[in-house]
Amino acid sequence: MSINGKAYVAGVYEHPTRRAVDKSLAQLHAESALGALADAGLGKDDIDGYFCAGDAPGLGALSMADYLGLRLRHIDTTECGGSSYILHVGHAAEAIALGKCSVALITLAGRPRAEGMATGTAPRNYGSTSPDVAFEFPFGPTVVNMYAMCANRHMYEYGTTSEQLAWIKVAASHHAQHNPDAVLKNVVTVEEVVNSPMISDPLHRLDCCVISDGGGAIIVTSPEVARSLDRPLVRVRGAGEAPKHQMGGTIDLTYSGARWSGATAFEEAGVKPADMKYVSIYDSFTITVLMQLEDLGFCEKGQGGRLVSDGNLISGVGALPFNTDGGGLCNNHPANRGGLTKVVEAVRQLRGEAHPAVQVANCDLALAHGTGGSLGTRHGAATVILERE
Amino acid sequence: MASRTFPSPVPDPDTEAFWQAAKDGTLMIGSCRNCGEKHYYPRSVCPHCGSGDVTLVASSGTGEIYSWSVLRRADPPYAIAYVTLDDGPTMMTNIVDCDLDTLAIGQRVELVFSPTEDEDGPPVPTFRPAAP
């Protein structure tokens, strides 16, 4: 059994806030939900499935179902870090295909800026019952130094350079200049990226994504519901998910779980990387994009540096337009979780609703991919392939 | 040069023997009696073959840097690393007693336990550049 063609993305919404001192966490989830419902042309009472992850308040789906007054027959709180919402699109399609629900709501929200969180540079302790904590937390693993170790090893094995990584930020900045909501709207150069302060070798400040409050939501529906709405039809063609971890100490930091989740999604969709007109790629750091593009099969392993250079990721310039909203690197990384906005921009592209300056011509097939958790320790990879009918 | 203070790990029934050995100055790694493979971090089940017949064996405490990064924004800056032990597994650690500007992948390192902040807390396995 396949989900190919069994579900449609009918509504998407990216909350415009980037700093939400005046809003509660539940409120941000709710405003995002209402935004996606309005986009789809549906109402609250149409929702019969709800999906959320670790950023949701309280008891997750239970607390948000209560807050929103939802009557549900399907809930899924699969937590996979920032890629959860891409994975939820696949899970929602599965549930819809099985008749467990017909209108699925996925929400994300968070306010790390309002709460003054040291997102990238402070070690996070997931609690003493997490079996890895005693063997890792004392050594100060942070978001940035773990991704930095991946970059360092990739450079060592494949000769990848800081200048090549910088091209990824440059491309994102070219897109973000057209997004009035973007945190960073200025176009930057390779020189500016590699000359920005070193945060954790070899990653510079401009290799890192922004820190932002905000949220977003996605509505996935059955084909029948989607066809009853006055919106372009965006079909789910394939999905894949895969955790990658330390494999008992046989650690290899040069590849991600995209190797597996991507293969699964492409097989289900019956398409190949070269068929993609647009890609949304999780961009917590520049190195994240480079490794995932390799692992998804957009180039040979180790050739990512060449793939991303010379503007190849810039819409209208290169062959592989990516993250045309400016991505996490320049636009928005709500709740330190960039997966949901990846789906949002892919849907905008497929509908022809991206900013005209970055809209990809004849964009009928797109991919959204994310890495949740940490590329340097354990993460969940999630891939979804979407098609405009 | 100032060095960072290490938070104390909290032993649990799964890892008590590992941390007791650390107090005695020995780095232990997981070893499977069924498949013969080593693993890290130590645990109650072999992550390679799934057998519960696992034990701890002493590591030689020597190896090389698999990857590293100096968090320049920390005060004081410190070097996190993965070290591949000569015994097999790769483990997360810090490189200490070193020039933070000369670390390199492939560099030979040797075990040195670093004390942790709680008075009764076990020391943690860190590494320093190997003596030439």
Q: Which domains does chain A have, with CATH numbers?
A: 8-115+208-388 (3.40.47.10)
User: Is B115 within 8 Å of B42 (Cβ atoms)?
Assistant: no
A200 touches chain B (CB under 8 A): yes
* pLDDT tens-digit series, residues A114-131: 998 877 778 877 777 889
Q: Does B93 touch chain A (CB under 8 A)?
A: yes
Query: In this predicted structure, what is the pLDDT of residue A124?
Result: 77
Q: Cis ω on the peptide bond leading into residue A180 (within 30° of 0)? A: no
SS3 state of residue A231: coil
pLDDT bracket for residue B4 (50, 70, 90):
confident
- From the centroid of its chain, how far is CA A154? 22
* B69 interface with A at CB cutoff 8 Å: yes
The answer to whether the CB atoms of A149 and B73 lie below 8 A apart is no
Closest CA to B47 of B34, B59, B28, B60: B34
Query: Looking at chain B, how many residues does it have?
Result: 132
Distance in Å, alpha carbon of B103 to nearest chain A alpha carbon: 11
DSSP B13-62: TTTHHHHHHHHTT--EEEEETTT--EESS--SS-TTT--S-EEEEE---E
Average pLDDT score, chain A: 97
Residue A245: helix, strand or coil by DSSP? Answer: coil
Q: For residue A141, give the chain B residue with the closest CA.
A: B80
CB–CB contact A138 B70 (8 Å): no
- The answer to whether residue A286 scores a pLDDT higher than 70 is yes
B71·A136 Cβ contact <8 A:
no
Structure tokens of A135?
């063997």
pLDDT at A127: 73
β-strands B90-95, B78-85 pairing: antiparallel
| H/E segment holding residue A165 | helix A162-176
| Contacts for B39-46: CB closer than 8 Å, 24+ residues apart | B39/A248, B39/A249, B39/B89, B40/A135, B40/A248, B40/A249, B40/B85, B40/B89, B40/B90, B40/B91, B41/A131, B41/A132, B41/A134, B41/A135, B41/A249, B41/B15, B41/B91, B42/B14, B42/B15, B42/B18, B43/A131, B43/B14, B44/B14, B46/A248
Q: Using alpha carbons, list the distances in angstroms from residue B82 to A124, B85, B89, B113, B127.
A: 18, 9, 10, 16, 10
Judge whether B81 is closer than 8 Å to chain A, CB to CB. Answer: yes
Q: Are B43 and A134 in contact (CB under 8 A)?
A: no
Q: Is the confidence at residue B1, as pLDDT, over 60? A: no
In this model, does residue B13 exceed pLDDT 80? Answer: yes
CA-CA distances (angstroms) from residue A285 to A221, A318, A322, B46, B126?
32, 20, 14, 33, 27
A200–B70 CB contact, under 8 Å: yes
pLDDT, average across residues B91-119 = 97
The mean per-residue pLDDT over the stretch A129-146 comes to 94
- Taking the C-alpha atoms of residue A83 and residue A10, their distance in angstroms, rounded to an integer, is 20
Say whether residue A207 is in contact with chain B using an 8 A CB cutoff: no
253-272 in chain A: CB under 8 A from chain B = 253
Say which of B29, B38, B69 has its CB closest to residue A201: B69
pLDDT band at A241 (very low <50, low <70, confident <90, very high): very high
- Which chain B residues are closer than 8 Å to A247 by Cβ? 47
Q: What is the three-class DSSP state of A284? A: coil
**What average pLDDT does the segment A164-185 reach?**
98
Map out the domains of chain B as residue ranges: 16-129
CB A183 within 8 A of CB A332: yes
Max CA distance (Å), chain A:
55
pLDDT digits (tens, 9 = 90+) for B72-100: 999 999 999 999 999 999 999 999 999 99
Q: Do A248 and B91 touch (CB under 8 A)?
A: no
CATH topology assigned to domain B16-129: OB fold (Dihydrolipoamide Acetyltransferase, E2P) (2.40.50)
Question: Distance between CA A343 and CA A63 in Å, rounded?
Answer: 24
* Average pLDDT, integer, range A64-78: 98
Here the ipTM equals: 0.97
pLDDT for position B2: 60
Q: In this prediction, what percent of chain A has a pLDDT beyond 90? A: 96
